[in-house]
Amino acid sequence: DSGVTQTPKHLITATGQRVTLRCSPRSGDLSVYWYQQSLDQGLQFLIHYYNGEERAKGNILERFSAQQFPDLHSELNLSSLELGDSALYFCASSSPLILFGNEQFFGPGTRLTVL
Amino acid sequence: AQSVSQHNHHVILSEAASLELGCNYSYGGTVNLFWYVQYPGQHLQLLLKYFSGDPLVKGIKGFEAEFIKSKFSFNLRKPSVQWSDTAEYFCAVRDGGSQGNLIFGKGTKLSVKP
């Protein structure tokens, strides 16, 4: 158990719908990263938040957005869903302290299936 | 931008065989490198990491990796694999500073035959 929690574990929805994925980082971690894992694209970085502020964006579609709340949990919102959005979505968190090597700890993921 | 390439898509070994998985990154300068493992149905777990210092890094479960700066490589090794090592292995490089995101290779699926 990495200490990072994600809900829900599985999500099945239809094209055109909107879903929200939730991530709670490890206690004390200020950074939350979102990654998408699909068979064709592999593991791709989507977005990074640090202490409530967006820090970096990767290959995130405009239909996707995220935020990090004052209690440091983060939500990834996916809208106008397409079949190709079916994937495993991971979040990861890391400590702000160099002492801990800034290792990223991954959550169990949310498996999204768009029908 | 950084990129990571893993040479082997699928490796099949018998138990007790030695393992070496290749990983190359694209960008020079200071790099933070990682190997993660994903067991079937599970999340990514860190095997080992290289930040600086000794280029031979030892990780968990008997894995080690060697950072060779001149070759932009960070290959993963294990002298004797076990059936329980069956998993997918991902090499990653950190993009940017200490809080930067990870850029992953496509992964190598390892199947160990008992």
Segment B46-75, tens digit of pLDDT: 999 998 889 999 999 999 999 999 999 999
The Cα–Cα gap between A6 and B90 comes to: 21
Show contacts of A96-101: CB within 8 Å, 24+ apart. Answer: A96/A29, A96/A30, A96/A31, A96/A50, A96/A51, A96/B99, A98/B98, A101/B49, A101/B51
Using a pLDDT cut of 70, give the percent of chain A over it: 97
pLDDT attached to residue B65: 97
CB B91 within 8 A of CB B73: no
| Mean pLDDT value across residues A16-44 | 94
The Cα–Cα gap between B24 and A37 comes to: 20
Whether the upstream peptide bond of residue A8 has omega within 30° of 0, thus cis, is yes
DSSP state of B98: T
| Mean pLDDT value across residues A86-110 | 86
Interchain pair B43, A103: CB under 8 A = no
What residues of A are in the B interface, CB distance below 8 Å? 2, 31, 33, 35, 42-45, 48, 50, 55-56, 58, 90, 92, 94, 96, 98, 101-109
**Minimum-distance CB partner of A109 among B36, B43, B98:** B43
Q: How many CA atoms lie less than 13 Å away from A24 in the CB half-sphere?
A: 6
The Cα–Cα gap between A68 and A46 comes to: 14
The answer on pLDDT for B107 being more than 80 is yes
Residue of B nearest to A5 (CA): B43
The Cα–Cα gap between B9 and A8 comes to: 30
Average of per-residue pLDDT values in chain B: 92
